Amino acid sequence: MLAKLTFSLLNVFPMPNRLVLGRVVRHLKNQMARYFFGSCAKNSNLRPKLKLRHPKNIHIGKRSSIGDNARIIATAPVHIGDDVLMAPDVVILTDTHCINGKEKILDSGTTRKPVFIGNDVWIGTRVTILAGAEIPDGCIVAAGAVVPAKKYPPYSVIGGVPAKVIKQER
């Protein structure tokens, strides 16, 4: 409980890494995150104003950065690999509504699907990653893309609504 409170307080402050105070805030924030995330590497970078739900399901790799104002709703596991760069305002969702023929959507319920983000991935500003998405190693996701529940080839550039491969073997 104290770790969550401390993380919440530190989550408000900007973190200029060039200043000693910014590095101290980053270190303290990562230490607190390790207590209530599923896993969080010591040298990850959790930028200010994150909005997190079910953080026990969030796993963040080494040297990965989650941008300002990111929102992660992790009712199912979210695995973020090593060396991932995530720009501001990224949204990751692990819940999706079920559609059962002509049954009312409101009555159909929801289903949970995990999200996997590989190593060495760059996710642009305001990308939305939907439940069940798998972004493999080396991918670049263009700003504003909506990534549905599908697999993409490694080392590709993806973008659009819905996201599709723009270029392979970057």
In the chain, where the domains are located: 1-165
Report, as ranges of residue numbers, the positions in the chain whose pLDDT lies below 70. 1, 3, 9-10, 13-18, 170
Task: Give the pLDDT confidence score for residue 74 in this predicted structure.
Answer: 96
Q: How far is CA 70 from CA 21, 37, 98, in A?
A: 22, 15, 25
Chain centroid, CA 8 distance in Å: 18
Task: Give the pLDDT confidence score for residue 169 in this predicted structure.
Answer: 75
Architecture of domain 1-165: 3 Solenoid (2.160)
Task: Give the pLDDT confidence score for residue 155 in this predicted structure.
Answer: 96
Q: Residue 59 carries which side chain, given as an amino acid letter?
A: H
Q: Kindly state the percentage of the chain with pLDDT values over 90.
A: 61
Task: Give the pLDDT confidence score for residue 136 in this predicted structure.
Answer: 96
Task: Give the pLDDT confidence score for residue 133 in this predicted structure.
Answer: 97
Cα torsion through 89, 92, 98, 101, rounded to 10? 60
Task: Give the pLDDT confidence score for residue 5 in this predicted structure.
Answer: 73
Task: Give the pLDDT confidence score for residue 66 in this predicted structure.
Answer: 94
C-beta pairs of 32-37 under 8 Å, 24+ apart in sequence = 32/3, 32/4, 32/6, 32/7, 33/7, 33/60, 35/3, 35/4, 36/3, 36/4, 36/7
* Model pLDDT for residues 80-96, shown as the tens digit of each residue: 999 999 999 999 999 99
| Residues marked as catalytic | 97
pTM of this structure: 0.88
